[in-house]
Amino acid sequence: MLSQADYDLLRELQHNERYARAYKKITVLLMLHLGQSMEVISASLGISEGTVRNYRQRYEQVGLEAYLQDNYQGYTGKLSVA
């Protein structure tokens, strides 16, 4: 699944990552590469199997560089200032 260079890069990033969301995205790819099932990955990281599946699909669609970019925007809510 991963080239040796990508694997080495992800291991380095994983070691230095401070944010849980990014750490989990990196770890999902590493665990998939090592042959872990989606069930094991989701249980180990506390995320749903759907999230694991989405991460895998995103990586396959856009490649490693775009996958690692975090464009997450949280829900802003519906409360008005008034």
Nearest to 27 by CA among 41, 6, 46, 39: 41
Cα 28 to Cα 47: distance, rounded to the nearest angstrom: 10
Cα 14 to Cα 12: distance, rounded to the nearest angstrom: 5
Domain residues for the domain of 49 are 4-68
Nearest to 11 by CA among 1, 26, 28, 33: 26
What does pTM read for this prediction? Answer: 0.85
Residue 42 C-beta-side C-alpha neighbours within 13 Å? 13
What is the domain count for the chain? 1
Give pLDDT tens digits for 19-34.
999 999 999 999 999 9
Q: One-letter amino acid identity for 30? A: L
The answer to whether position 79 is within a domain reads no
Give pLDDT tens digits for 28-72.
999 999 999 999 999 999 999 999 999 999 999 999 999 999 777
The answer to whether position 37 is within a domain reads yes
